[in-house]
Chain A
Amino acid sequence: MATYEGLFDGMGLRAWCDDGAKDGPMTMSELLAKAKGGELDTAWYDVPFPSLDNLHAACKAVPRTRDMTSGVEQAFLDVKAALQFVLDPLTQPLSWLLDGSLFLFGAIPWWVLLPLILVAVFAVSRSLGVTLFVAVSFLFLSFIDHYSYSVQTLSIIFVCTVLSVLFGVPIGIAMSKSDGLQRGMIPILDMLQTLPSFVYLIPLIFLFSITESKLYGIAIILYAIVPVIRLTDLGIRLVDRDVIEAADAFGMNARQKLFGVEIPLALPNIMAGVNQTIMMALAMVVIASLVSAPGLGVLVLRGIRNLELGVGLVSGVCIVLLAVILDRVSKASLSRINASQKS
């Protein structure tokens, strides 16, 4: 029958194989093979890889790959209740924050919000050029009726970036102080950064209801927090040894050193991390529209789903515009910091 039957027979495991036989529903490939009818002898060069499915064909006691995936699913479902019990209340404030900020940004009339944004942009960048660019971009976005979508996207990015910095900077500082923690954290950060963004969504969908904002909030934060952690750690480790030594020699305690020397000197790196965090939050917020995140991503999704080419393309351009705005503004404030402390 199957290629590997001889193997199990040879090892005298036939009894065990048949004993464990519990025929589940057939897999698609089994069905197909059956439909073809022929139990042709496989030529030697056609020997299939001894995968779970192929072994199963020879010996029913071996589980199939499908049994394994459903096992994983079952395991996940089994811990789901416990996880939910812990995580749900912990993450609830995230939903409130996201919903609150979406509501707030939506409720402020455009003729108040736009000037406010421009004032904020000027405050952090101190650059007339950048401010002008942002003004023109927003007028354009509003003119083509993408104002409310853009503001929703911005509001999500705003909340997620603030939270990423709030958690990321202390984690980065802790990592810079402890080599052990750094060794432990780096694989996690690598994983968070290399996991395709869709994969994040899968366990989250199981854990939380898809209608809750924290679902996409968590996905965005997990994805976007990595650079700010990494660069905070790097920045503090790169602080000039001589200056640290001077701080020690004058008797600074750990707190004075951290806030008076290390963080200020690491600030350019930390801000570079924040810049990247913002950009990654933007990338993720678009994908998160798959799990009901509002904003420009919804339009992109509509473009794909309904083949509305124009809608998809225009919203794509708007996202690019937002990206450029966010990048310019954060880079401008970064260079302002750099200028004030070259050594």
Chain B
Amino acid sequence: MSDKPKVRIRNLYKIFGTDPASVLDQAKAGLGKTEMLERHGHVLGLKDISIDIGDGEITVIMGLSGSGKSTLIRHLNRLIEPTEGEILVDGIDVTSYGEEELRQLRQMQMSMVFQKFALLPHRTVLENAGMALRVRGESAAAADAAATTWLDRVGLTGFEGHYPHQLSGGMQQRVGIARALTSNAPIMLMDEAFSALDPLIRTDMQGLLLELQQDLHKTIVFITHDLDEALKLADHLVILKDGYVVQQSEPQHILLNPADPYIEDFVSDINRARVLRVRSVMTPLDGRVPADAAGEVGYDDTLESVIAISGGDTAHAYAVLRDGTPVGMLDMKDLVRALVPRAASNGGMLSRAV
């Protein structure tokens, strides 16, 4: 994680209802979502959210339906106004922005990809992709040129003249991504961008996103309710429940140290061997020389690949290499233990590391 976050969310509260200010104090005092609704008729949307969104990283926000994911991401470009709290983009609080500054922020700093694509149905693919530049008032030629480049990049060469309804869902979302990229904004907000797609196309799109991210290093905030997707994409994983952050950290850490039963439930169905990496379960060397290693494995290998190497034999230990130098030992017994979901109670430290 880079040392200076691109976006910082500080103590953000959002209460839906007729008079949010009147119940803000109760929310701060810890009144839960259901009580808030029963006693005061207000919906507690977000409660004391603080997240640092790293520059050039993919921050995934995950949670069940109704946990406030869409509400949270819409605060970043202020499609929803906060009840209280700060949102700092490059250190500047955007909650104080006036209308014109806000439009500038949305035009230049942030782009967005939507679950239901939200393309303009009466515009061609090319015009849709160039939308951000047209909005800024750039010439049609410039917009079209940039749009063409990015449409090529997402694999839509030749579809420029089509209308959105002539494309499949996956292709429409490619247009959505091209539209966000054409805007050339450093921050990209993706609200369940792949949730409407079928599993195969979805995997494709995840691949596309990771591939693009390798070159572009955008600051991406990605929302999903799918843990597999979250683990695949996340550099930093935030888990929301009923409007508050249950746990946030590097995804491997959450998997190995779930903070509460809610998260245990979440992570219990996952194929841990495929997701966990050697670095998360190895024992660091601390200057000692690796003894009697049965072989060598990579620092970033998945446990699944190690199991394949070991042929299922749990008696061995392996030396872990990072860029050719040994950095740790991996005992197969630790590996097997890591494959069994651990209860949070004996998981020890609850980390809110950022």
Q: Which residues of A contact B (CB under 8 A)?
A: 240, 242-243, 245-246, 248-253, 256, 260-261, 264-265, 267, 340-343
Contacts and interface: CB of A to CB of B under 8 A. Distances in A.
A245 B121 contact: no
B107 A250 contact: yes
B135 A256 contact: yes
Contacts of B163: 340-341
Contacts of B116: 242
A240 B111 CA distance: 19
B131 A250 contact: yes
B112 A249 contact: yes
B165 interface: yes
A15 to B, nearest CB: 59
A251 B164 contact: no
Contacts of B132: 250-251
A250 B135 contact: yes
Contacts, number: 66
Contact of B183 (A243, A245, A250): A250
A246 B104 contact: no
| Top-10 shortest CB links A-B | A251-B106, A251-B107, A246-B118, A343-B121, A242-B118, A249-B112, A341-B122, A251-B103, A341-B121, A264-B122
Most central of B110, B111, B120 by chain A CB within 10 Å: B120
A258 to B, nearest CB: 13
Given A246-B114, A248-B79, A250-B135, A340 B183 contact: no
A342 to B, nearest CB: 5
25 contacts: A240-B118, A242-B118, A243-B118, A243-B120, A243-B121, A245-B118, A246-B112, A246-B119, A246-B120, A249-B77, A249-B112, A250-B107, A250-B111, A250-B131, A250-B183, A251-B102, A251-B104, A251-B106, A251-B107, A251-B136, A260-B120, A264-B120, A267-B122, A341-B165, A343-B121
Contacts of A265: 120-122
Given A248-B106, A253-B103, A342 B121 contact: yes
Contacts of A248: 79, 106
A332 to B, nearest CB: 19
A240 B114 CA distance: 13
A342 B166 CA distance: 9
Interface string B116-149: 1111111000000001100110000000000000
A288 B41 CA distance: 56
A73 B144 CA distance: 66
A265 B117 CA distance: 16
Interface in B88-111: 102-107, 110-111
Given A251-B105, A251-B132, A340-B122, 13 more contacts: A240-B118, A242-B116, A243-B119, A245-B79, A249-B106, A250-B107, A251-B102, A251-B104, A252-B135, A265-B121, A267-B122, A342-B165, A343-B165
A251 B165 contact: no
A230 to B, nearest CB: 22
Interface of B: 77, 79, 102-107, 110-112, 114, 116-122, 131-132, 135-136, 163-165, 179, 183, 189
Nearest to B179: A250
A245 B191 CA distance: 12
A267 to B, nearest CB: 8
Contacts of A240: 118
Contacts of B122: 264-265, 267, 340-341
A342 B163 CA distance: 9
A138 to B, nearest CB: 33
A194 B79 CA distance: 42
Contact of A249 (B79, B104, B121): B79
B60 to A, nearest CB: 19
B351 to A, nearest CB: 33
Contacts of B131: 250
Nearest to B109: A251
Contacts of A343: 121, 164-165
Contacts of B104: 251
Nearest to A340: B122
Contacts of A251: 102-107, 132, 135-136
Nearest to B99: A253
A261 B104 CA distance: 19
Contacts of B112: 246, 249-250
Nearest to A249: B112
A245 B164 contact: no
Contacts of A249: 77, 79, 106, 110-112, 189
A343 B119 CA distance: 9
Contacts of B106: 248-251
A5 to B, nearest CB: 59
Nearest to B106: A251
A341 to B, nearest CB: 4
B287 to A, nearest CB: 52
A325 B161 CA distance: 34
Nearest to B105: A251
A219 to B, nearest CB: 36
B175 to A, nearest CB: 12
B195 to A, nearest CB: 13
A183 B112 CA distance: 35
Contacts of B105: 251
A264 B163 CA distance: 14
Nearest to A254: B99
Given A248-B79, A251-B104, A261 B120 contact: yes
A252 B103 CA distance: 7
A86 to B, nearest CB: 38
Most central of B102, B112, B135 by chain A CB within 10 Å: B135
Nearest to A248: B79
Contacts of A250: 106-107, 111-112, 131-132, 135, 179, 183
A341 B123 CA distance: 8
